[in-house]
Amino acid sequence: MHYLDNSATTAVLPEAVEVMTKLMLTDFGNPSSQHSMGIKAAKELKNYREIVAKAMGANADEITFTSGGTEAINTAIFGAAHKNRHIGKHIITTEFEHSAVKNACKRLEEEGFAVTYLKPDETGHISAEDFENALRQDTVLVSIMLVNNEVGTLQPVEKIGAILKAKAPRAIFHIDAVQGFFRTALTPRKWNCQLMSVSGHKIGAPKGIGALYISRDIKIRPYIVGGGQEKGMRSGTEPMPSIAGFAVACEIRQKNMADDLKHVSELAEYLKSQLEKRIPWAKQNGQPDVPHVLNVSLEGCKSEVMLRILESREVYVSAGSACAKGKESAVLKAMGFDNKRIDSAIRISFAPFNTKEDIDALLDGFEQGIKMLKR
């Protein structure tokens, strides 16, 4: 198997599975229980929170565990917009956000908020200048992704944070860092952001766990109420096995981050050089800043068909983001590409376990597909 779709999701690390199994079969206490098993679980929860906080560049008391990126984003966007609605009702985001952000903003539009969607350029970046021009007196919330999920570009979050601090200090800044987690260091304080979302299943933790950073400087309203867990921000018995798996994945990724980055950079360079040699007419979409994602169009070869051909050779990539489910890529459209380019786009995304053999298998598959499709 050659799995090159790691931005959609990736394998759970064996060390995470091990700790999760222990927490499901042996140490399965509820952290709210008053007996020794509960006390042990509460202590472990504290430890896991500290590990995840460190990985996010935050303090432990600034971390709320959620069911994943989508829940963190929804909590952030609705929480911030509703908290600030008395100050104003203008939101700034981008045209190529993940649907969790876009659909939350659409919902707020129905509630009477006005949303400005910044357009990225052809390289896959939004400009800080456009952002500054979009800022209004009544801007109360800004939500920008750190790394784009389809083209791997870093957005100018530090510049945006600085502009906000100078010009609209009351506006809340949320960063969707799901695709940036362990692709680049997270520094929410340096970016002057108050809210930041991450997800476990993109880094070797199981699906269904994520975290929201809420800076000590702000308070937002929780949407899941009940027993008051997570300091009231997200009620419900804590999913200890998933939290433990998440923390262990963070620890391993943190320890190996420099080596992983070097390895993935080498893979990306190898892929680019082989593409140039073997399929020189392939067009790269955007200019990625992290090596984990490469998006290419093989014009004349429909991506859905190419995907099936690759799949028959046990090579797994995607046509856009997994969440787009085969619909045309809104990211490439926002970047201004024509249909020919969008219809033939393939996203290749790496994890540390990938090898050059995976890339060779991909290119062999591409060549077979091109022979079949470009007659």
Q: Are 358 and 2 in contact (CB under 8 A)?
A: yes
Q: Pick the binder of ligand PLP from 29, 31, 68, 241 (CB under 6 A).
A: 68
Q: How far is the CB of 142 from ligand PLP (least distance, A)?
A: 16
Q: How far is the CB of 93 from ligand PLP (least distance, A)?
A: 12
Question: 234 - beta bridge partners?
Answer: 224
Q: Are 148 and 179 in contact (CB under 8 A)?
A: yes
Q: Which of 68, 21, 28, 67 is nearest to 45 (CA)?
A: 28
Q: Pick the binder of ligand PLP from 323, 327, 356, 371 (CB under 6 A).
A: 323
Q: How far is the CB of 81 from ligand PLP (least distance, A)?
A: 18
- Residue 374 in tokens: 């470009």
CA-to-CA distance for 156 and 266, rounded, in angstroms? 25
Task: Return the range that interacts with ligand PLP (CB under 6 A); candidates 66-74, 219-227, 233-241, 257-265.
Answer: 66-74
3-state secondary structure of 212: strand
Task: Return the range that interacts with ligand PLP (CB under 6 A); candidates 49-57, 64-72, 77-85, 152-160.
Answer: 64-72
Q: How far is the CB of 34 from ligand PLP (least distance, A)?
A: 33
Q: Exposed e or buried b for every residue in 161-171, given b needs 16+ CB within 10 A?
A: bebbeeebeeb
Helix (H) or strand (E) holding 211: strand 210-214
The residue of the chain with the least Cβ separation from ligand PLP equals 69
Q: How far is the CB of 73 from ligand PLP (least distance, A)?
A: 6
Q: How far is the CB of 178 from ligand PLP (least distance, A)?
A: 4
Q: Are 55 and 200 in contact (CB under 8 A)?
A: no
Is 323 known to be catalytic?
Answer: yes
CA-to-CA distance for 241 and 25, rounded, in angstroms? 10
Alpha carbons within 13 angstroms on the beta-carbon side of residue 21 total 7
Angle at 207 between CA 213 and CA 359, to 5 degrees: 105
- Each residue 198-217 as x (binds ligand PLP by CB under 6 A) or -, in order, gives -x-x--------x-------
Q: Pick the binder of ligand PLP from 64, 70, 215, 242 (CB under 6 A).
A: 70
3-state secondary structure of 209: coil
The torsion angles phi and psi of 296, rounded to 5 degrees, stand at: -130, 150
* Residue closer to ligand PLP, measured from CB, 146 or 275: 146
CA-to-CA distance for 269 and 291, rounded, in angstroms? 8
Q: How far is the CB of 55 from ligand PLP (least distance, A)?
A: 16
* Residue closer to ligand PLP, measured from CB, 136 or 207: 207
In the range 98-117, which residues lie near ligand PLP by CB under 6 A? 98, 100
Q: Are 105 and 115 in contact (CB under 8 A)?
A: yes
- Each residue 122-161 as x (binds ligand PLP by CB under 6 A) or -, in order, gives -----------------------x---x------------
CA-to-CA distance for 90 and 141, rounded, in angstroms? 7
DSSP classification of residue 214? E
In the range 156-185, which residues lie near ligand PLP by CB under 6 A? 176, 178-179
CA-to-CA distance for 213 and 15, rounded, in angstroms? 25
The torsion angles phi and psi of 95, rounded to 5 degrees, stand at: -75, -15
Q: How far is the CB of 69 from ligand PLP (least distance, A)?
A: 2
Residue 242 in the binding site for ligand PLP (CB under 6 A): no
Q: Pick the binder of ligand PLP from 55, 56, 64, 69 (CB under 6 A).
A: 69
- Residue 323 in tokens: 């969440």
Site residues (vs ligand PLP, CB under 6 A): 68-70, 73, 98, 100, 145, 149, 176, 178-179, 199, 201, 210, 321, 323
Residues marked active site are found at 323
